[in-house]
Amino acid sequence: MSADPVSRLAPVGLAELVERAALQTRVDRKYLVPTSALPRLLDQLVPCARVLDIGGVRTFRYESVYFDTPGLASYHGAAHRRRRRFKVRTRTYLDSDQCWLEVKISGARDSVTKHRLPHHPSDRRTVRPGRDFVDEALARESFGTAGERFDEVLVTAYDRTTLLLPDTASRVTVDTGLTWRDADSVLRLPGLAVVETKSTSAATPVDRMLWQAGVRPTRISKYATGLAALRLTLPDVPWRRTLRRHFRDTVARAATAAASHRPEQEPSCV
DSSP code string of 100-140: EEEEEEE-GGGEEEEEEEE--GGGTT--GGGHHHHHHHHHH
Structure confidence at residue 229 (pLDDT): 94
Q: How many CA atoms lie within 13 A of 83 on its CB side?
A: 3
Q: Give the type of residue at 164.
A: L
Among candidate residues 210, 241, 212, 238, the one with its CA nearest the CA of residue 224: 238
- Say if CB 145 and CB 72 are below 8 A apart: no
d(CA 243, CA 51): 31
Overall residue count recorded for the chain in this entry: 270
Structure confidence at residue 174 (pLDDT): 98
Q: Per-residue pLDDT for the chain (270 aa), expressed as one digit of tens each?
A: 445 789 999 999 999 998 888 765 668 899 999 999 999 999 999 999 999 999 999 999 999 999 999 999 999 999 998 989 999 999 999 999 999 999 999 876 667 788 999 999 999 999 999 999 999 999 998 898 888 999 999 999 999 999 999 988 899 999 999 999 999 899 999 899 999 998 887 889 999 999 999 999 999 999 999 999 999 999 999 999 999 988 866 655 555 555 554 433 332 222
Set out the domains of the chain in order of their start, with CATH numbers.
3-261 (2.40.320.10)
Structure confidence at residue 262 (pLDDT): 40
Residues 6+ apart with CB under 8 A from 228: 79, 234, 235, 236, 239, 243
Residue 104 forms beta bridges with which residues? 87, 114
Angle between helices 205-212 and 38-45 (to 10 degrees): 140
Structure confidence at residue 256 (pLDDT): 57
pTM: 0.86
The greatest distance separating any two alpha carbons of the chain, rounded to the nearest whole angstrom, comes to 56
Residues 6+ apart with CB under 8 A from 199: 23, 26, 27, 168, 170, 171
d(CA 126, CA 150): 8
Residue 49 forms beta bridges with which residues? none
